[in-house]
Amino acid sequence: MISEYTIQKVRDTALIEEVIGRFIELKKKGSQYQAISPFNPGEKTASFFVHPGKQFFKCFSSGQGGDVIKFLMATQNMPFNDAIEWLANHYGIEVTYEGNTQSEEKLEELDAIKKVLEGTARHFQKHLHEVIQDETHPVADLLRRRKLTKDDLLEWGIGLAPDEWRFITDKVTPQGLLTAAIKAGVCDRKEDRNFDFYRNRLIIPIHDSRGQVISFGARALGDEKPKYMNGKESPVYLKDRTLFGLHRAARAIGKQGMVYITEGYFDVISLHRAGVENTVATCGTALTSSHAKMLRRYTQSATILMDGDSAGQKAALKAVPVLLQAGFIVKMATLPGGLDPDEWICQLEEQQQPEPITT
């Protein structure tokens, strides 16, 4: 029997619109695709719909529906295991089987890492709410300067790593989760010493498209260097396949038919607060073809909204060909005065009428 690890990996990797598009002609309509039903090819009006954001299909003429595995089983007469093997081969995924010690260990490792990340996020959030009432605490000043509201903190799960070496380490060690915490990037080890990776920083959880915590971004409370720390890559977190805020932006992107792409966590948070919810950001890396492929599930129109300085504009120019190659209609937006999106929104909130974005 194919291992649960392989099945989970296939489900996380496969793009339903890409797979179904190999068998029938799909036409883009808003945030979804439609086609003549493969179950009723003689129909005159398309009744077959594919929802990339939710990764499922629905056929209204036959009542069939489900995920990409179910599609292959229903239309290609593949047994479940054959469908998994077909998808694994298509996406270059190694197939392992139950009873295979290595695959069972991988699944246990993933579960442990996810448990550590969720727990760490809760501990950081709890600590922030414990100290936030103290207006003399450095984090209070940072929150005021960044104009982060109580709703922002709750909606994005923002937390605080205290200025301690073993705040998380001492919590995961008794649970037997220290190794998982190191692999997750929240703890570190040097020689025989174990310690926390994040200390004395504002913590911004990074989620996958399903809303699960997979890493953290961190911002210094003062002028410490580096100002920003990006999470280490792990078995659940790859920077070139992760877009910050996508779990909250997906619906708005599909509804509005376009996406704004920025380069900072606070840019996304501020724009969402201002009602521009179709906004995502890369996580400390340049925009990649994998990012573009992810966004094509929801739209084919993108506006690049990077920082107004020279570095931001260079990053924007590098992103253009990546998006064009993925089939996007691309625009570039310029903010006044070299401002970044977060600064521009702060100006908006203070003055109500900042200079407009120009594209």
Residues 277-312: pLDDT tens digits?
999 999 988 899 989 988 987 888 999 998 767 777
> Quick check: 210 pLDDT over 60?
yes
Which CATH number goes with the domain that contains 227?
Answer: 3.90.980.10
What is the three-state SS of 36-104? Answer: CCCCCCCCCCCCEEEECCCCEEEECCCCCEECHHHHHHHHCCCCHHHHHHHHHHHHCCCCCECCCHHHH
Same domain, 216 and 254: no
Provide the percentage of residues in the chain whose pLDDT is more than 90. Answer: 53
pLDDT band at 103 (very low <50, low <70, confident <90, very high): low
Residue with the larger pLDDT of the pair 104 and 90 = 90
DSSP of 292-319: HHHHTTT-SEEEE---SSHHHHHHHHHH
Looking at 61, 91, 121, the residue that finishes a domain is 91
Angle between helices 341-351 and 265-273 (to 10 degrees): 30
Report the alpha-carbon distance of residue 181 to residue 3 in Å, rounded.
24
**In this structure, are 26 and 75 located in the same domain?**
yes
pLDDT reported for residue 102: 65
In a domain, 356, yes or no: no
Calculate the alpha carbon distances from 179 to 34, 116, 173, 317 in Å.
Answer: 46, 10, 9, 40
Query: Is residue 221 a part of any domain in this protein?
Result: yes
Residues 285 and 320 in one domain: yes
Asked whether residue 231 falls in the same domain as residue 303, the answer is no
Question: ω into residue 226 within 30 of 0, thus cis?
Answer: yes
CATH number of the domain enclosing 306 = 3.40.1360.10
Domain that holds residue 261: 241-351
Residue 359 located in a structural domain: no
pTM above 0.85, yes or no: no
Is the residue at 358 inside a domain?
no
- Candidates 275, 248, 254, 257; CA nearest to 331 is 257
Q: How many domains does the chain have?
A: 3
In this structure, the answer to whether residues 114 and 202 fall within a common structural domain is yes
pLDDT at 357 > cutoff 70: no
| Rounded-to-integer distance, Cα 110 and Cα 108, Å | 5
